[in-house]
Amino acid sequence: MKLLIVGNGGREHALAWVCAASASVTEVLVAPGNAGTAAEPRVRNAPVGASDIPGLIALARAEQIDLTIIGPEGPLVAGIVDEFRSAGLRCFGPDRAAARLEGSKAYTKEFLRRHGIPTAAYRSFTRADFDAAWLRAQRAPIVIKASGLAAGKGVVIAADAGEALATVQAMFAGQFGSAGDTVVVEEFLAGEEASYIVMADGAHALPFASSQDHKRIGDGDTGANTGGMGAYSPAAVVDGAVHERVMREVIGPTLRGLASDGTPYTGFLYAGLMIDASGAPRVIEYNCRFGDPEAQAVLARLRSDLPSLCMAALEGRLAGQRIEWDERAALGVVLAAAGYPGASTPGARISGLERAAALPGKIFHAGTERRGDAVLTSGGRVLCAVGLGAGVAQAQRAAYDLVSCVDFPGAQFRHDIGYRAIARER
């Protein structure tokens, strides 16, 4: 089988890496990929951008691709799966209608409410119907979200009504482009977050291992929200009882609700959950794809054959499929460029990758490109160093051993990835 992975981040490097290891796979193309995917055995980059849907269809045809797996949300929300399907090509991911679960937070909140799926109380507004008096009357902290896609940066937790008002006004004024034309205001949820990712075939869900992301840029969960600065798997907060509740109260009703609305969901479905002290899950957000950096930690533990599972999902055969995991914990630390999550300047030279390759674990690339003999930074999140260990503390040690090998000017990373789980282990 010949595969195409669409995207150029750490998640796509991890997807290409696990797929290339499959006995049923002869070659994996990544469009456009990065310096890390280019260096993997049986993997080749193709210079087609992730949002160039006609170019990707032409590539899949020319290369006789058997299965395309979409990494990022952009092309999914734009309808890449519909277009591949119309062209008679197999493509793993939700179609445009199902991908609205990530593409519009206002739609998702209404969907969750209509189907009785637990989530924070909310109201959504456009500039035309915004109710400033209502907002001022809300209890702080107040959560403000741009409804559309904003690369994980369109959420502000306002400490008081003044900050909330200013945030809403900035979003209406175009801070996130059209993503902020509609703004969702919601209740602040207390608890511990977890990422719960399943594979769905339109009706059934196969749960993947749980994980926990670290969204803030700074140690101790301080500073700006990012796309994710590190993750580990499994997430201790998702114990057996919580897992049961998530499947029964969240994932099951979501897949049934989508099917009964006429928009059945096939692909990776990522529930961002808040788990309260009683173990009750609430949906913070849905993503229509695997998480990044969750994929790097979760897929490092995958023992089953991913391409076969994708094929089973596309053929509606997920019921009864099993999935196996390395018993060890995995933990990934993201190295980001100076300036991230704001704008960063590309072109910094990365050193120490060969030294890191001699250690156990794996460095996945994100914003990197090869220029002659050098590997240079080319994006905000640059690398993700993943270690494995008997527990999260050991996995953390292995990951930071890798981090200490590599460097580039201005590199920033968190020093405390996994701290909640490690406190529990103690």
Residues that bind ligand GLY (CB under 6 A): 152, 213, 227-228, 287, 291-292, 294
Residue 291 touches which member of ligand AMP, ligand GLY, none, C-beta under 5-8 Å by kind: ligand GLY
CA pair distance 217, 144, nearest whole angstrom? 19
Residue closest to ligand GLY, measured at CB? 228
Q: Residue 322: left if φ>0, alpha if ψ -120 to 50, beta else—which one?
A: beta
Residue 32 tokens read as: 């456009």
How far CA 351 is from CA of 312, 372, 376, in Å, comes to: 41, 14, 9
Question: What is the nearest approach in angstroms of ligand AMP to the Cβ of residue 10?
Answer: 18
Residue 292 touches which member of ligand GLY, ligand AMP, none, C-beta under 5-8 Å by kind: ligand GLY
State which of residues 8, 45, 167, 225 lies at the interface with ligand AMP (CB under 6 A).
Answer: 225
CA pair distance 77, 169, nearest whole angstrom? 26
Residues 274-333, interacting with ligand AMP (CB under 6 A): 284-285
How far CA 343 is from CA of 225, 336, 422, in Å, comes to: 14, 11, 32
Question: What is the nearest approach in angstroms of ligand GLY to the Cβ of residue 332?
Answer: 10
CA pair distance 200, 381, nearest whole angstrom? 28
Contact track, ligand AMP, 109-138, x by CB under 6 A: -----------x------------------
By beta-carbon proximity to ligand GLY, the closer residue of 272 and 361 is: 272
Give the residue from 151, 183, 158 showing the smallest Cα distance to 168: 183
CA pair distance 51, 103, nearest whole angstrom? 15
Contact 36, 5 (CB under 8 A): no
CA distance from start to end of the chain? 45
Residues 383-422, interacting with ligand AMP (CB under 6 A): none
By beta-carbon proximity to ligand GLY, the closer residue of 83 and 213 is: 213
By beta-carbon proximity to ligand GLY, the closer residue of 138 and 212 is: 212
Binding-site residue total for ligand AMP (CB under 6 A)?
Answer: 16
Residue 416 touches which member of ligand AMP, ligand GLY, none, C-beta under 5-8 Å by kind: none
Residues 47-106, interacting with ligand AMP (CB under 6 A): none
Residues 147-186, interacting with ligand AMP (CB under 6 A): 152, 155, 157, 186
